[in-house]
Amino acid sequence: MKRLSAVFLIAVCVLLAAIAPAHSQRPRDVEQQINALLAKMTLAEKLGQLQQLDGEAGGNYRPEHVDLARKGLLGSTLNVRGAAKTNELQRIAVTESRLKIPLIFGFDVIHGYRTIFPIPLAEAASWDPSMAERTAAVAAQEANNAGLHWTFAPMLDIARDPRWGRITEGAGEDPFLGAAFAAARVRGFQGSDYSAPDKLVACAKHWVAYGDAEGGRDYNTTDLSENVLRQIYFPPFKAAVDAGVGTFMSSFNSINGVPASANRFTLTKVLREEWKFDGFVVSDYTSVKELINHGIAANEAEAAAKALNAGVDMEMVSRSYNQYGPRLVEQRQLSLATIDEAVRRILRIKYRLGLFEKPYADETREPGSLLRPESLRLAREAAAHSMVLLKNERNVLPLDKSVKSIAVIGPLADDRRSVLGPWAGDGRDENTVTILAGIKAAAPAQTKVSYAKGCDIKGDSDAGFGEAVALAKESDVALVFVGESDDMGGEAASRSSLDLPGRQMDLAKAIQATGKPTVVVLINSRPLTFGWIADNVPAILVAWMGGSQAGNAIADVLFGDVNPSGKLPVTFPRTVGQVPIYYNHLNTGRPPEAQNKYSSKYIDVPWTPQFPFGYGLSYTTFKVSNLQLSVPRIRVGDKLTVTVEVENTGKRAGDEVVQLYVRDPVASMSRPVKELKGFQRVALQPGEKKRVEFTLTRDALAFWNREMRFVVEPGEFDVMVGSNSQDVLEAKFAVVER
């Protein structure tokens, strides 16, 4: 029996070895291979591994890349793409260089490669991390087949200031929601084995606090306590580490006077020592050289020493490591051990990617992998899933399919580019379904759909108003599409105003004045301020920038084929003067009171948001009731079960996102007025009721105290459950010492 068992075990081991993924080699074996390779490398070759250089427009590599790859002096490229192009350069690296170390090809696959999905902020509005995991998986598959190994995503910056253009790339203002989407996107890009032929290694960026840039101005300074860093800005990144993310990117900003790309506290103490991250860190674009502008380095040599010693392993685009590394070693400002450790980390990821065994892309797979029908269906589903219905008086929506005529109005209704959003990968205008095309395709055959631009997105002309107004008067319903162009969001797209640009607000007013039922649809990359529309237009839908299938998805929602179920992942202010405004703020000694002048509020606008975090309507109605706790008190470290009933009280099937918040009202430090600690999407038929259960663990009740210890303090807690951060049921429980 023992002999048969041994034979069986040997057979199983042989089978597992045959099917095991490349990076499932025993870690000890990989480390031995890395050490053996390091022992053969010259200093120049080591520094070459720390260098990433940019390609040309259109995905071509540069002529110098050939020479550098041949000499073993290039570790990675960004923006070089297309299987044939990457294979050409890779072949030089692995056949003509002395040590045959493969290159890693990276690209900003943020919300799609060729099939473009909704911007990440929009996907977060779905409150459905599994959807983000699915879209990331498709993006990885398309990009991998185009010769890429590495994406500079997901962006995990918590953003409380919508003036910052890059709010579009993340999951909004909340660390709990952000952590859920961080883990999902890492899983989508990487899977369980990122050496697989349809996966990429992900990059958690921007490490860290980039989203708190002063004044919402990109690349700007942040000044935050360690407590706030750990409580608000770290959690999505920790979730990415726990999900197995392979790489990190250091950010442009300084943190409390120390630039993130030279910050040993964040790069080494937290990331490597506390969290045990063993992948590598790449700088953001020229952020090593920019240490000079930050004022902590007098020249590029100093910048290189400070960044590499702090823990930035690979330098993106600038060449300070390469040019000054030998001198710094000679002057003992940089040790060979530090360089070796950086190289080791980069080689580790290359081994885990399987590049030493399979360095080339299969060129036959690329054409058939792009824009597959199932990918486009997912893009359409994801875009519809992300939309947030803000207002629907008199049930203007969904549109009655017996409607005889529809006026489609606005500068974004027939814009192929803007609906793709910023950082649209290798997405192409000709593959985009415009809003107008989507509505025409969805409208019944007998319905007349007419279009008038009305005005430009930017500019002061109202020359097109007359045509738009006349069209609205002739039609049964007017659909007004306003918002931002794709270049008004994303990197280097900070805005001092959140108002609709150009004459778009005036256009909406003119159409509403016709007296025809009017729907305003926002095509936006961030929260916008549109108070007049919020007060006067009966129906408002946030459609965001929905990607390749935006037009079809918007039509699906407008005609009621999809019931909107999105919830805001970020607070919408009434005016830019309220910014920053976010739901999980600390209380003050004088909380706002309407009848008390000497309380924390404005004299010219309400202190409340236009629309709160977690808000979103449906074409049906829901009721959350019967909040119950499993016990009235728990001991520190124990769990608490929270249940509610949610019922569809309307006439349509729909999804409700039930949200759970907690508050620690008395603690050793001021705690937020509420914090999201759970959410569930629940699908219900008309009249159906379901019980929803949440479990509160120690981590949900703990916080970082003054001694930077993550603790639960005994005392009374509030628990709140509802359909958004304001409309909640409340209960109390106590935490006691053991």
In sequence order, the 6+-apart residues with CB closer than 8 A to the CB of 428 are: 114
- Cα–Cα distance, 180 to 678 (Å, whole number): 10
- Cα–Cα distance, 627 to 382 (Å, whole number): 31
Nearest to 108 by CA among 375, 427, 350, 345: 427
Partners of residue 643 on adjacent β-strands: 628, 693
* Residue type present at position 316: M
State how far the alpha carbon of 259 is from the alpha carbons of 154, 217, 247, 519, in Å. Answer: 21, 16, 19, 46
- The phi-psi region of residue 410 (left if phi > 0; otherwise alpha if psi is between -120 and 50; otherwise beta) is left
340 burial (CB, 10 Å; 0-12 / 13-18 / 19+) is middle
Peptide bond into 585 cis (omega under 30): no
State how far the alpha carbon of 377 is from the alpha carbons of 165, 493, 553, in Å. Answer: 29, 30, 10
Mind giving me the DSSP string for 68-129? Answer: HHHTT---EEES--SHHHHHHHHHHHHHHSSS-PPPEEEE--SSBSSSB---HHHHHHTT-H
Q: Does 284 qualify as catalytic in the annotation?
A: yes
> Alpha helix locations (H) across 257-335?
264, 291-294, 300-310, 320-330
Nearest to 397 by CA among 563, 543, 283: 563
Candidates 108, 157, 212, 284; catalytic one? 284
- Cα–Cα distance, 26 to 12 (Å, whole number): 17
Partners of residue 314 on adjacent β-strands: 282
- Cα–Cα distance, 233 to 353 (Å, whole number): 29
Cβ atoms 482, 508 nearer than 8 A:
yes
**Residue 31, SS3 per DSSP:** helix
- Cα–Cα distance, 537 to 549 (Å, whole number): 26
Mind giving me the DSSP string for 622-636? Answer: EEEEEEEES-SEEET
Calculate the CA 667 to chain-centre distance.
32
Contacts made by residues 321-325, CB under 8 angstroms, sequence distance 24+:
321/47, 321/50, 321/51, 321/288, 322/47, 322/48, 322/50, 322/51, 322/73, 324/300, 325/43, 325/47, 325/50
Chain position carrying tokens 């207002």: 391
Name the DSSP letter for residue 705: -
Which residues are identified as catalytic? Answer: 284
